[in-house]
Amino acid sequence: MQWFKRQSRLRKVAILAGIPFLLLCLCAGLASLVSPTPEATPTAAAEKPLTETPIPTYTPYPTYTPYPTYTLPPKPTITPAPTETPIPPTDTPLPPTDTPPLTDTSLPPTDTPMPTATLMPTATPIPPTPIPIPPTATPAHVQAQVVGVIDGDTIEVSIGEELYKVRYIGIDAPETKHPEKPVEWMGAEAAAKNEELVGGKIVRLEKDISETDQYGRLLRYVWAGDLMVNAELVRLGFAQVSTYPPDVRYQDLFQEMQQEAMEAERGLWRPTPTPLLALTATPLPPTQPPPAAVCDCSGNIYNCPDFSTHAEAQACYEYCKSLGRGDVHRLDGDKDGIACESLP
């Protein structure tokens, strides 16, 4: 325990002895910072020669010379052309001349363009006439996918991503879906044959002159492979020739196909079947309800004395006759239609 106390006193003595040394070092450092350097002393500054830095002279920019002003020339004055004063007609006939009549001396057309006439300027300007642009040439055949058969001469196709209805050029098949006409004879057969020829196939469409008809349908010749569907329907007798100018490219071919079908009596050209007469039922006159039972008509049961009056006997007599039994009771002995005449 004493040893620890002794060690503690020695540490305190060492710390107290080191404090003056630290203060001495601190004062030396501050003195070195405050003392001037040799370069900063007046003597050193006097001994160092001074050099003068020349001041650069200012060179002014060249003055701006403006461009010359441009004077527009005066506009020319347009003098209108003098108008012609019409000369009043005179009644004095001109003497006939011996000049022979003009003959047509026009040259045959050549590839050299003829010069155009130069128009004289007039006071009133005439607006130029627009020149029509020629239509863009379209390919002779366009491929299309058949998506539906409407009837014997109309189909629906897909070209790209658009759907179009196509009407066959030059032919006419019997109607099946006309809003104002009934289904015509051979119409269903023509539509079925058209379905057989083009249904679901890729066909080629050939244009003539017209683009569409009055209903907006494309007017085309339809080819399935090497077979023209328009002509084939005419040849088989499912359609007849129907020509509408200017679309007449294959008119002669269609006429030949129709003549062949007529001679062979195919389709529309075979003998027309005689329509069967509709059986008309003759209305029967309304049957009267059976009269109420007034007596038993199963056999000869009654005699005239069995009735009180002539009216009762006559009622039984007529009732049995209405049932088809006749005078089963023998009430009319003289067959004059009056039963039991002796009764009151």
Active site residues: 167, 175, 217
Q: Is 267 exposed, middle or buried (0-12, 13-18, 19+ CB in 10 A)?
A: buried
Show Cβ contacts of residue 227 under 8 Å, excluding neighbours closer than 6 positions: 197
Residue 168's closest CA among 255, 225, 226, 232?
Answer: 232
The token pair that represents 252 in the structure block: 């002669």
Three-class SS state of 159: strand
The token pair that represents 96 in the structure block: 């006939």
Are 175 and 151 spatial neighbours (Cβ–Cβ below 8 Å)? yes
Are 259 and 267 spatial neighbours (Cβ–Cβ below 8 Å)? no
Q: How far is CA 317 from the centre of its chain?
A: 84
CA distance 221 to 87: 62
What residue spans of the chain are helical by DSSP H? 2-34, 42-47, 187-198, 229-235, 251-264, 310-322
Are 291 and 322 spatial neighbours (Cβ–Cβ below 8 Å)? yes
Show Cβ contacts of residue 268 under 8 Å, excluding neighbours closer than 6 positions: 174, 185, 186, 237, 238, 239, 240, 261
Task: From residue 336, give the alpha-carbon distance in Å to each of 128, 249, 314, 331, 341.
Answer: 114, 91, 12, 11, 10
